[in-house]
């Protein structure tokens, strides 16, 4: 006999266990407590309290995150959504739970997720998919947790029942039973499922046996649904065993509980059972009433199933739309990624170009700076060169000036300021050339020659000896001054050496020169030479005179050196003949005397033979 328990007693027990769970939760862990509360509320019934409990769990999860509990909460939320027909949302939540399960790699949690997927697909009447998910669940759990494995086997069995394979279901239940201990809570669903399958096979004894295996403690904590199923199975067992009155009593009582509830399937089964039972008892009116109610409930159920179908289609459509959107988004993302890549490449290209431009400008800048530097250097160099040039010019001028001065010095006699012998040798060749040219182009008698007058102070040694060398120098200076007074501009006065001087008459006809030297002789002879403390001194000088060209007809017959030598011989003659005298030698045109002949025979002979004519201020015979 099936033991029955009054519903008040069951309610009291449920309340106390719930309270205990909640209390334990509060003391140990707020999050786990809130999850336990949610579970117990869902197990009891789907009322609005569970939504508040769900919010609590979510809030606690935020405070103390736990992936395992988040997974369970997601599955519970999915179960609620599924219950209210929001299948697509339930699918989404299951998918989120699966993500976490795969992340955690916990076999029990994964199996939990897969069995939730299975139940959802069974609800959507996709039995093949549901079976695959249960198999995945079994695969995940392996041999780790026999109780949970048994739970999935029971779910698989129920799938077979749905498909009408009752024997298959019984086999799975028997397999599940071997995995469970007598006090396992999974025994509830197993025995209920087993008894249902047995009844389908028309084996009420087996069904009763299964129900009796249930520990009364379990019966006390049944959820509303479990209790309804349990009572329905009990009533069906009574019906199959012909105990119609007991079946009717149980069914009527349960029907009153489900009258306004959402357990339409059970309600319909109870109504069908009552109709059958009354029919067996011959109470046709009652049978008709319940049969009628049964039809109405079936219609409502059909509608509910239709609605579920619609919802399922909607879910599929939503899923497709979502997939389409995801595809579009993926395409957009790909496009975006390509654009970003292109932009990146463009940016890189721009950057490269920018750097190249920078380098180019940098190169130009360096080039420009080098160019400016070169210009600057050139400018500086030019300035330096200009300075150098002006310096060189200045120095050259200075040098020229100094050279001139030096030349002047080298051409001058330091004591008298007259030209020296060096000057004479420097200019004489040019002067001779001029004379030669003049004689070649003009009538020889008209042209000026160069008359050499060699002058020597008489007894100069005595002056030095008598008055000192300084007095001698002074006489030399004063003598020079007298010499300068008798010459014209363009004639030269040269200190020939010691107390000897040379006058070169350039602008005088040779016939006029004897008169000039006579004037010079008398001027010297009458000049009072000043010897400072001493009384003025009277001195005289001797002069030898000869003119180039010596032979006017043959200009080159006597060189200027030979003419000068003749002048010197004349001077020697003047000294020898008594001093304070001048002697002028001249060539006689008819003599045809050559310089070689003159040197050979000597001057005395030449004068005696009248090859050379002689003039002098002296009247006594001249000596050479």
Q: Which positions lie near ligand GTP, rule CB under 6 A?
A: 415, 456-461, 464, 469, 472-473, 476, 498-499, 575, 579
By beta-carbon proximity to ligand GTP, the closer residue of 56 and 473 is: 473
By beta-carbon proximity to ligand GTP, the closer residue of 189 and 458 is: 458
By beta-carbon proximity to ligand GTP, the closer residue of 156 and 575 is: 575
> What is the C-alpha separation between 580 and 557, in angstroms, rounded?
31
By beta-carbon proximity to ligand GTP, the closer residue of 458 and 586 is: 458
Query: Under DSSP, is residue 547 helix (H, G, I), strand (E, B) or coil?
Result: strand
By C-alpha distance, which of 566, 476, 481, 565 is closest to 523? 481
User: In angstroms, what is the minimal distance from the CB of 540 to ligand GTP?
Assistant: 9
By beta-carbon proximity to ligand GTP, the closer residue of 105 and 533 is: 533
In which residue are the tokens 């420009």 written? Answer: 368
User: In angstroms, what is the minimal distance from the CB of 504 to ligand GTP?
Assistant: 21
User: In angstroms, what is the minimal distance from the CB of 591 to ligand GTP?
Assistant: 31
By C-alpha distance, which of 116, 140, 141 is closest to 130? 116
The CA angle 148-182-35, to the nearest 5 degrees, is 45
User: In angstroms, what is the minimal distance from the CB of 454 to ligand GTP?
Assistant: 12
Residue 36 belongs to what H/E stretch? Answer: helix 30-44
By beta-carbon proximity to ligand GTP, the closer residue of 347 and 481 is: 481
User: In angstroms, what is the minimal distance from the CB of 510 to ligand GTP?
Assistant: 26
User: In angstroms, what is the minimal distance from the CB of 580 to ligand GTP?
Assistant: 10
Buried b (16+ CB within 10 A) or exposed e, 119-136: bbbbbbeeeeebbebbeb
By beta-carbon proximity to ligand GTP, the closer residue of 150 and 457 is: 457
Reported for 119-123, long-range contacts at CB under 8 A and 24+ positions apart, including other chains, are: 119/82, 119/155, 120/78, 120/82, 120/87, 120/90, 120/91, 120/94, 122/155, 122/158, 122/159, 122/162, 123/82, 123/87, 123/308
User: In angstroms, what is the minimal distance from the CB of 607 to ligand GTP?
Assistant: 21
Which residue number is nearest to ligand GTP in terms of Cβ?
A: 472
By beta-carbon proximity to ligand GTP, the closer residue of 189 and 500 is: 500
Residue 436 belongs to what H/E stretch? Answer: helix 421-441
Outline where 164-283 has alpha helix (H): 166-179, 187-200, 204-212, 216-220, 224-240, 244-258, 264-281
Query: Under DSSP, is residue 587 helix (H, G, I), strand (E, B) or coil?
Result: strand
User: In angstroms, what is the minimal distance from the CB of 556 to ligand GTP?
Assistant: 33
By beta-carbon proximity to ligand GTP, the closer residue of 262 and 477 is: 477
- The conformation of residue 48, written as its DSSP 8-state character, comes to T
Contacts of 247 (CB under 8 A, 6+ apart): 235, 236, 238, 239, 273, 277
- The conformation of residue 292, written as its DSSP 8-state character, comes to H
User: In angstroms, what is the minimal distance from the CB of 536 to ligand GTP?
Assistant: 18
User: In angstroms, what is the minimal distance from the CB of 443 to ligand GTP?
Assistant: 40
> What is the C-alpha separation between 60 and 34, in angstroms, rounded?
8
Strands (E), 484-530: 492-497, 500-505
User: In angstroms, what is the minimal distance from the CB of 541 to ligand GTP?
Assistant: 9
**Chain center to CA of 360:** 14
Residue 114 · residue 140 · CB < 8 Å:
yes
By beta-carbon proximity to ligand GTP, the closer residue of 118 and 472 is: 472
Beta bridge pairs of residue 537 = 529
By beta-carbon proximity to ligand GTP, the closer residue of 4 and 465 is: 465
């Amino acid at each position: 006999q099936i033991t029955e328990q009054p519903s008040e007693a069951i309610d009291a027990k449920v309340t106390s266990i719930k309270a205990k769970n909640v209390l334990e939760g509060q003391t140990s862990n707020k999050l786990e407590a809130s999850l336990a509360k949610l579970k117990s509320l869902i197990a009891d019934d789907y009322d609005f309290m569970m939504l508040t409990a769900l919010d609590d769990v979510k809030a606690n999860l935020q405070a103390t995150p736990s992936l395992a509990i988040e997974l369970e909460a997601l599955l519970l939320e999915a179960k609620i959504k599924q219950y209210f027909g929001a299948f697509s949302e339930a699918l989404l939540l299951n998918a989120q739970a699966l993500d976490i399960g795969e992340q955690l790699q916990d076999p029990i949690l994964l199996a939990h997720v897969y069995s939730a997927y299975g139940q959802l697909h069974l609800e959507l009447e996709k039995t093949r998919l549901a079976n695959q998910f249960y198999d995945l669940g079994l695969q995940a759990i392996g041999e780790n947790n026999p109780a949970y494995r048994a739970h999935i086997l029971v779910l698989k069995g129920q799938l077979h029942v749905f498909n009408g394979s009752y024997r298959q279901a019984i086999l799975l239940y028997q397999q599940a039973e071997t995995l469970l201990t007598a006090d396992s809570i999974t025994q509830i669903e197993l025995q209920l499922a087993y008894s249902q399958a047995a009844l389908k096979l028309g084996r009420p004894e087996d069904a009763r046996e299964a129900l009796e295996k249930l520990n009364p403690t379990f019966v006390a904590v049944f959820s509303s649904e479990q209790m309804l199923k349990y009572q329905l199975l009990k009533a069906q067992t009574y019906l199959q065993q012909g105990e119609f009155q007991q079946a009717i009593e149980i069914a009527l009582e349960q029907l009153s509980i489900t009258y306004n509830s959402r357990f339409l399937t059970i309600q319909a089964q109870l109504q069908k059972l009552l109709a059958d039972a009354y029919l067996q008892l011959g109470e046709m009116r009652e049978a008709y009433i319940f049969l009628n109610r049964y039809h109405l409930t079936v219609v409502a159920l059909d509608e509910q199933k239709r609605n579920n179908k619609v919802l399922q289609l909607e879910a599929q459509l939503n899923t497709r739309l979502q997939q389409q959107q995801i595809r579009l988004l993926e395409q957009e993302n790909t496009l975006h990624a390509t654009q970003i890549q292109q932009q990146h490449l463009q940016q890189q290209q721009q950057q490269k170009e920018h750097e190249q431009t920078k380098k180019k400008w940098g190169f130009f800048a360096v080039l420009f700076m080098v160019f400016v530097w070169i210009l600057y250097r050139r400018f500086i160099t030019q300035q330096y060169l200009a300075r150098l040039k002006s310096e060189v010019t200045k120095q050259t001028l200075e040098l020229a000036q100094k050279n001139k001065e030096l030349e002047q010095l080298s051409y001058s006699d330091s004591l008298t300021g007259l030209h020296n012998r060096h000057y004479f040798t420097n200019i004489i060749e040019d002067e001779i050339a001029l004379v030669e040219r003049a004689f070649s182009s003009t009538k020889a008698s008209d042209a000026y020659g160069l008359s050499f007058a060699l002058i020597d102070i008489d007894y100069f040694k005595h002056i030095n000896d008598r008055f000192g060398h300084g007095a001698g120098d002074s006489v030399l200076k004063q003598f020079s001054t007298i010499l300068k007074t008798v010459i014209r501009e363009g004639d030269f006065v040269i200190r020939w050496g010691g107390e000897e001087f040379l006058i070169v008459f350039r602008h005088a006809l040779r016939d006029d020169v004897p008169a000039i030297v006579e004037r010079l002789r008398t001027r010297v002879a009458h000049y009072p030479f000043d010897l400072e403390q001493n009384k003025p001194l009277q001195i005289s000088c001797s002069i030898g005179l000869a003119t180039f060209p010596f032979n006017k007809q043959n200009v080159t017959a006597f060189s200027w050196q030979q003419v000068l030598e003749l002048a010197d011989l004349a001077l020697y003659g003047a000294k020898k003949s008594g001093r304070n005298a001048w002697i002028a030698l001249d060539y006689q045109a008819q003599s045809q005397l050559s310089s070689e002949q003159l040197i050979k025979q000597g001057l005395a002979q030449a004068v005696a033979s009248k090859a050379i004519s002689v003039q002098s201020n002296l009247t006594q015979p001249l000596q050479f």
